[in-house]
Each structure stands twice: as structure tokens, then as C-alpha cells.
Amino acid sequence: MVKENVSEEDIEESTEGKSGDGYVEIKMGGGWYMTISLAHSDRFEKEYVELAKERGGVKRSRFNLNPAHVRMLGEALIKFADDNGL
């Protein structure tokens, strides 16, 4: 596997949306985007974070995450990337 040098500027350019507005879109290539958004469940009257893979405005796969675990997930992803040289 070829390791690609990715700078912080490249990450910021491929991430659209403003911090704190409840929505972030990450361009993945091939027309695919990873979206991270804050959502509210009317049924359970709770907020959650939705991670989705989207193409052409249609969400192909989704994962709902308790907001209490978002920071833990982010830190685990960073640790995983560091440990595996990604």
C-alpha cells in the first residue's frame, strides 16, 4: 500500500461545511461523500449524529451515533491512523 502525504490543508479543502453548523461533508472521490450531521429523533425525542455515505444526493448507508461517543470515535480514528501509518 502506498502512503500518501496528506497535509492538514488538504483535509480542510476536502471538508465542506462550517464547524458548529451541524453538518460536514467530506469528499471521498468518485462522486462519493461522507456526511456527518446532527439529527433529532421525534420518536425517541433525542439528538444523534448521523454518519452517511452519499452519492448524487442519495444516502446509501447510514450509521447513527450517540453524541456522547463522538469525541471517543474521533480519538479512536486518529489513534488507529497513527498506529497504522495512515
Task: List the chain domain ranges.
Answer: 8-83
pTM over 0.75? The answer is: no
CB 23 within 8 A of CB 34: no
Rounded Cα gap, residues 62 and 53, in angstroms: 7
Domain range 8-83, its CATH number among 1.10.3470, 1.10.155, 1.10.150, 2.30.31: 2.30.31
Would you give per-residue pLDDT tens digits along the chain (86 residues)? 444 554 545 554 455 545 557 888 989 988 899 999 998 888 888 899 999 999 888 888 899 999 999 899 989 999 999 999 88
